[in-house]
Structure 1
Amino acid sequence: MPLSPRTPLAVLAGVGALVALSACDSTDSASGGAAGAPGPIKVEASDSSCAVATKTAGAGNVTFEITNKGTKVTEFYLYAEGDRIMGEVENIAPGLNRRLIVEVPEAGKYQTACKPGMAGNGIRGDFTVTGGAQKQTDTNAQKAEATKSYATYVANNTDALETETQKFVDAVKAGKVDEAKAEYATTRVYYERIEPVAEKFGDLDPAIDVREADLEPGQQFTGFHRIEKDLWVTGLKPDTPQIADKLVTDVKDLVAKTKTLQLSALDLANGAKGLLDEVATGKITGEEETFSHTDLWDFQANVDGSKGAIAALRPILQERDPALVSTLDKQFANVQALLDKTRVGDGFKYYNQLSQDEIKAFASAVDALSEPLSKVAEVVSK
C-alpha cells in the first residue's frame, strides 16, 4: 500500500462524490459487531484527529462508517497485532463518507487508524474486540466455496510471481537492462492482482512495493520500485544486486505466508473494492510507475484481481442481488473496453503517452465501477 499523498480520483473525473456517498446509502441496520450495539460505529476523521465513537465491539462483522471532516483525502484501517490489516478503506475525499465492514472472529486488542493525506502510520487508537465468533467461511457453504476458489486464484498468481520475480532478478543481476525492463511490468502483474492479500502481512507489502515518494524517514528504498528507478533513471548501482536478492527473499516469504492465510468472504469483497481504490489513487494519476510509466499494466492487473474476487463471490451475489451482478458486469466491461483501446502488442501504451481525455475517460469508468463494488461487502455480510 503506497503511503504518500495522492491526487484523488474525484479531482480527475469530477464525479468521485458518487463513489464515496454510495458506500453509505444503506440503512443503519448493519451491526457494529455480532455482540455489539446496533448500527455502524461512527468515525469522524479530520486532518489531526480520528474520533471513533466506541472503542469496543463484539466479535463478528464489525461495521465502521467514516466521515472525513478534514481538508485532506484520508484512509481508515483496522489493524491486528503486527500491523496486520484486518480491513481498510481508501480514497475518502473531504466531506464524504465511506463504510467498512470487516469480519473479526477473534477477541483481542486491535488498533484503528485514520491517515489524513494517506501518509504515514496514521492517527491510531486502541480498539478491543470481545467474545468470539466462528468465521463465516466455517459455517456457510457458499462462502466456504468462494474463499476456496479465491485461494486457488491467489496460489496461481503467487506461484507465478515467485517464478517471474526470479527471472527478473536474474536479468538485473546479469546487467541485462533491456531484458530486465521487458520483464518488469509483466512480473508485477502477478503482484498487483493479489495486492490486498499481500497487505495482510505487516511490512512485506512496503518492502516489496514501496514507492520512493512514500518513504518514511530512515526507511530503506527496496523492492520493485527501487529497481525500477535503477533501470530507467540512475543506472544499475553497486547495491542493486543486493536489493534484487532481497526482493526475491521477500516474495518467497509472501508466497509461503499466503499458503496458510485464511480469508473470509468479506475479505474478498473488500479486496475487490480495494483494488479499484489502488487504481484511483495510483494508476490513474500515473504515480505508481513514475520511472517506467508502465501504470496501465498495473491497472489491468488490478482490474483482473477485482474481477477474480467477484467471480469467486458471484454465486452469493447472484442469489442475493442479481441486479448488482448485472451492473458489475456492465461496468467491468466498460473499463476493459477502455483498456483494450490502449493496447500495443502484448502490452499497453506508456502512461505518459495518454491524452488528458483518455485519462478522464478512465477516471469516469473507474468511478462508475467503484460505485457498485462499494455495495458488495454489505450484500455478502447479510
Structure 2
Amino acid sequence: MRKLPALTAVAVLGLGLTACTTDPEPAAPGDTTGPIAVKATDTSCEVARGENAAGTVTFNITNSGAKVTEFYVYAAGDRVMGEVENIAPGLTRELRVELPAGTYETACKPGMIGKGIRGAFKATGSAAPLTADAKLAEASANYQRYIQSQTAALLPKTEEFVAAVKAGDVAKAKALFPIARTYWERIEPVAEIFGDLDPKIDGRAEVIEEGMAFTGFHRLEQDLWEKNDIGKSGPIADQLLVDVKEIVAKANAEKLSPLQLANGAKELLDEVASGKITGEEDRYSHTDLWDFAANVEGSKAAVQALRPTLEERAPELVAGLDAAFKTVDDTLAKHRDGDGWKLHTALSQADLKELTDVINALAEPISKIAAVISK
C-alpha cells in the first residue's frame, strides 16, 4: 500500500517502540552469511554487500536520512520477496528473508514513494528451504488455505460493491465498501507481493506522485464520500473488479515461505500504526476501524499458522502473543457499532492513544517471530 510521506506523532510512536536505534554490527570481511548492513539516506541506499549465501538472509536497515523510508528485496518482475516499511529517521529495522539462489534487487524508498534507489543482489549456492521442516511446511499450507477462504469472499463482495456503484446506488455502495475491504485487508501480506497490483487496487491519491493513475477502492471512496458523485465512476469500478480477479488468482496460487508469514504478521501491524490509527487510510469515509480489525485478524491468522513451531521453539513467546492479541481484541471491541465499527472521527485522542499502546504491545513479540522460525 502507498502511504503518506509524513506520519503523525501517533504513528511514529507506534513504529518507534518496535525498532532498535543502534547501528548493526558489520559482517566480517568475506562473510557471505552474516547480517548485511544497509545505510539508507534520502539520496542513497548503501548495501554492505551485494551477494549472500542462499537461504535466510538478514538485512539491518538504518535510516540515516530525514525522510521515512522503506526497504524491499525484489525478484524478477518486481515480485516482493521481503519488505520493511515505515523506517523512521534515526531508526534501524531488521528484515529476514528467504532467498533461493538467483538474482534480485534491493531498494530503499525515501519518502516511501517511487520505484526506489535500487541495486543488484545475488544469492548463491543452495540451501534447504525452511519448509523442509514438516511443521513449517504445514504452516505455509494452512496459511494458503486461509488466503483462499478470504479471497472466496473478497471477489463476490467486490462484485456486489462494483454493481452498486455502477447502478448509482450510493447508500448500498457505501455500506458495502468497508465489508469488501475487510477481506482485502486480511490478505495484504500476499496481495503486496505482485508489483503494481496493490497500489492499483488500494493506493491512495499519493500514487499520482509516482506516475500512476489514482484508481481502485480509494478512488471510489473519494467519489462516494467527498465528491458525492458516482455518475462517472463505472470505468474505475470495472477496473477494480478486473484487478481484484487477478490478485485473487495469483494469491490462491502463491505459496508463501514461513518467513513471509512472520514478516506479513508484522507488516499488518505497521499498516495499523501508519494508516488506520491516524485516519489516513480511509480519509473520505472514516471507516478505518474496519481495516484495523481486518489487519489484526490477518496478522493473527499468520501467527496461528506458525503456532506449532513457535510452541515447540519458544513457548513463552506464544503466551505473550496470546495475551497481547486478547488485549487488542478487547480494546478494539469497545468501539463496536452494531455489526461494524465506529467511524474514526468518533474516536477521542485518548481512544487513539489506547489503541496505539495495545498495538505497540502486540508488535513487540510479533517482531521476534522471524528470528525464532529461521533458526
Answer whether TM exceeds 0.5 for this pair: yes
Structure 2 SS opposite 1:216: helix
1:340 deviates by: 0.3
For residue 225 of structure 1, give the secondary structure of its aligned residue in structure 2. Answer: helix
Structure 2 letter corresponding to 1:5: P
Q: Deviations over 1:230-268 (max 9, x none)?
A: 111113345411111111111111111112212111110
Match of 1:294 in 2: 287
Residues 124-160 of structure 1: CA deviation (Å, up to 9, x unaligned): 11112222334322x1100111011101100000111
Paired letter, 1:7: L
* Mapped partners of 1:238, 1:59: distance in 2: 53
Structure 2 residue 112 is matched with structure 1 residue 118:
yes
Counterpart for residue 345 of structure 1: 338
SS at match of 1:132: coil
- What per-residue deviation string (whole Å, max 9, x for no partner) do you get for residues 82-108 of structure 1? 111100011212211111000112x22
Question: Is 1:2 the counterpart of 2:2 in the alignment?
Answer: yes
2:79 aligned with 1:84: yes
Is 1:68 aligned to 2:63, yes or no? yes
How far is 1:273 from its partner?
0.4
1:48 aligned to 2:43? Answer: yes
The 1-side partners of 2:109 and 2:300 are apart by 27
If the length of structure 2 is used for normalisation, what is the TM-score? 0.95
Q: Where do 1:285-324 residues align within 5 Å?
A: 285-324=278-317
Query: What letter is aligned with 1:41?
Result: I
Structure 2 match to 1:17: 16
The question of whether the paired residues in 1 share the 8 Å contact of 2:61 and 2:94 is answered with yes
> 1:36 and 1:347 mapped to 2: Cα distance?
52
Q: Over residues 51-109 of structure 1, what are the superposed CA-to-partner deviations in whole Å (9 max), with x where a residue is unaligned?
A: 1000111211111011111222211110111111100011212211111000112x222
Residue 140 to residue 15, structure 1, CA distance change in 2 (3 Å): closer
Secondary structure at the residue paired with 2:125? Answer: strand
The 8 Å contact of residues 287 and 343 in structure 2, kept in 1 or not, is answered as yes
2:207·2:214 contact (CA, 8 Å) conserved in 1? no
What is the CA distance between 1:376 and its match in structure 2?
A: 0.4
Matched, 1:103 2:98: yes
Kept after mapping to 1: 8 A contact 2:50/2:120: yes
Q: Does the CA contact (< 8 Å) of 1:6 and 1:281 recur in 2?
A: no
Range 110-119 or range 224-233, more displaced: 110-119
Deviation at 1:37, TM superposition (A): 2.5
Listed as ranges, the gaps of 5+ residues in structure 2 are none
- What is the CA-CA distance between 1:36 and the residue it aligns to? 5.8
Q: For 1:156, give the aligned amino acid.
A: S
Instruction: Look up the SS of the partner of 2:318 in the other structure.
Output: helix
What's the offset of the Cα at 1:213? Answer: 2.6
Q: Percent identity?
A: 55
Which amino acid letter does the alignment assign opposite residue 287 of structure 1?
E
Contact 2:59/2:94 (8 A) holds in 1: yes
1:284 maps to amino acid: I
Conservation of the 8 A alpha-carbon contact between 1:13 and 1:364:
no
User: Are the equivalent residues in 2 in contact too, given 1:4–1:120 (CA < 8 A)?
Assistant: no
- The RMSD of aligned alpha carbons is 2.1
Whether the 8 Å CA contact 1:68–1:97 is kept in 2: the answer is yes
Counterparts of 2:202 and 2:13, CA distance in 1: 29
Q: Which residue of 2 aligns with 1:168?
A: 161
CA contact (8 A) 1:225 1:289 kept: yes
Secondary structure class of the residue paired with 1:266: helix
Aligned counterparts, 1:67-216, within 5 A? 67-105=62-100, 107-137=101-131, 139-216=132-209
**Structure 1 residues 189 and 226, CA, compared in 2 at 3 Å: closer, same or farther?**
same
Map 1:229-244 to 2 at 5 A: 229-244=222-237
Name the stretch that deviates more: 235-244 or 332-341: 235-244
Cα shift readout 1:276-323 (whole Å, capped 9, x = no counterpart): 011111111110001000000000000000000000000101111111
| Separation in 1, partners of 2:327, 2:268 | 17
- In structure 1, distance between residues paired with 2:233 and 2:15: 40
TM-score (norm 1): 0.93
